[in-house]
Structure 1
Amino acid sequence: MRHGDADPPFPAVAVAGPVTRVRLANGEQVWLVTRYDDVRTMLGDPVFSAAGDPMHRATPGADAPFIGRLPHTDPPDHSRYRRPLGRAFTPRRVAAWQPAIARAVDDRLDAMADLGPPVDLIESLAVPVPLSVIGTMMDLPRHDWPALRKAATDLLSDSPDREHAAATNDWLLGYLRTLVTERRIKRGSDLLSELIEHSDLGDTEIADLGATLVLGGFDSLAASIGTAVALLLCHPDRPRTLAAADERLDPLVEETLRFTTIVQRGVDRTAVADCRLGDADIRAGDRVVADLPAANRDQERWAEADTYDPTRPALTNVAFGHGPHLCVGMHLARVELRVVLDRLLTRFPALELAVPADRLVLCRDRTFAGLRELPVAW
């Protein structure tokens, strides 16, 4: 068997269907939303509130410090947190970062070439590039990057040790609060300094946004890069020249985002009033969960939705969510994926899997579904 003759182990997704009442493993009953149109309606309608338990609360209590104000608040509070970030992540601003992203990628490709095959692409490229990008954007000291990576790894586990998670939460917020305090005294050209300059947010609020960027902007991109490369290498019939033409690169990136929607946890909302979603009558207080991977495989929107086709004309998907909480870093994510795929396949046109595809293992115990390792050769 050739190494590319099997699909990597991406998670099975629910079949898109009507809004359904389901029971979670903990016994709680929720509404599960799987159809593309229903998911967009839910995420865009203010009747479904994002306010609730944050991702990582250090200790019980409403006033406890936590990471997650941006994804776990509704307007107007959410708008106050998002507005200064939106200014920093416009397409124009992100495009200005492309040369720096390219340098980060080239540095890692040089290291791969020096090391020689086989190498683990996750450790050699997928992890270091987004860590370098977010670290540079925020001007985080390079010697702290390994600790930041470990914090993200620990906090984004599906079943973290609560005491360890609380300690890690406090460390990450404290670390960033210290940097924010320093930048208030001596501003730089980094993202933290920009948030100080162009917002009325306090130090703890800016530290929270910084921690959210470290968690989402690094870990999610690392997962996306690995899965994107694995998909291409597991389908040797797909032309490797895709990355050589800009007009083919955009559909490739969008199809990768659609097919390998890496957000494994459902996106939660709580109904604040009685309403109707699809064919379901939702009551105030009901918890509603959007299944983004299922929505991105909706057969009514995409023909042969369970087939990976990087030449498929790009249609809007919900890999980055929808509505007021649409991922603020989506433009950066797309640019990073484009640059990585383009430069990787140009530098190593003979790139191939160094193990059979069925030996690739997906991290199913994490918020973002990335591969544990991706051995490659050339």
Structure 2
Amino acid sequence: MKKAFWDSLQAQLSEDPPVYDHAIKLLGEIKESLLSFLLPGHTRLRNQINEVLDLELIKQEAENGALHIPKLADFIIGMMATLCAPIRDDEIKIIRDISDVVALFREIFAVLDLMKLDMVNFAISSIRPHLMKQSVDYERKSFQEFFDKQHGSLEITTEWLQEAASEVLSSDMDTSVLSGAVAGATDISALCPTAVLNHAYVKLLKWDHANRLFPEPVLMDQSRFEEMQRELNQLTITAAVLLVIYNMTGAAISGLSGFLDRLKRIIKVLLTGMHTVSFHLVEAMVSMSEQICVEVNNCLSQHGFSLLTPEKEAVLKGQIQAISGSDNSVRKLIDLRIQTFLKMHLASSNPKSVAIPGGLGPIGSELEEVTIKFLHLANYNKLVFSPYYDTILTKVLKKNGSQLPGIGEEEQQPSLG
């Protein structure tokens, strides 16, 4: 339809004498678009646009054969250059070099659409703080009504945060033993509330949804956390398989990005539906090990390397199939590094500076996508429900009179996006 429209315009302008019906309509649309970019105080620019793009005058010029479209186009492009964002300067320069009238009109409308998008994005960014505050206030008020009906009891949330505190404390105790720290340095009263809450958010990505109720403040986002959990489970197995493959083959196939992408596609296909009841991970890993060995040998052959010996092939298959077990050491290592990566993002004032741990590089782009979604959910949830978390953590951590900074008093971390 678009091609037919522009072909019709070309046909009209090619007639002798030219017919300007479509062109005048387009000029009218361009005029309206330019006027829509103006602020109330842009009186001089508004007068210029109305004067130069006076459609009645343009129609009279067309009827008398005096219409000069290139002159109008120069004015339009100049006005667009005045009103557009700096990021559109290159597109404006390209338009200036177009001599064909139809192509010129087409590109002008394309750039005008981009300018409209810029304007919308600017408007959204301007009102975002106000929308965020209203959203936070509304959600907190709605939750308070629910909280009152529960008689001020958030049992599931308390249990969730208590578990997180115990796990953080256990982790700190292990670290203190390794470092020779003095006994008592890891007393629960010394735990940072924010660290406990960050760990609690990561725990939601390992939640047993079939047998446990979800904490009340994150209940509305349960489906999103479930989706991220499924994505991370698949990425964990993918990274574990790739780590096994590259450890076995060494430098022979390292650096071949095309081969890495092919392996990832194969693994993703074979893990499709992994979260469903009918999916059998053990069988999938057997098929995967067979297919991976074929792909590795093909790659080695194409690049002039020796094929895997039957012994190495058997070892590779066995190591890949072993990843189906939740207690597999490689799988547990990858899982731990992913959790650490997510907690580092939550704790960092500049999440983009967080380096990807070893072994996660091959899934870096996919992991970053999940991390962005996770940070948006966690940081917004923290913003809304920090007063409730503060109250519960104060009791859980038994501060012994030492007033630690609450969740709501600490700086909210920016999102990765």
Shorter-normalised TM range: under 0.3
Structure with greater proportional helix content: 2
TM-score, normalisation: structure 1: 0.25
TM-score, normalisation: structure 2: 0.24
Does 1 or 2 have the higher relative contact order (CA < 8 Å, sep 6+)? 1
- The structure having more radius of gyration, on CA atoms, is 2
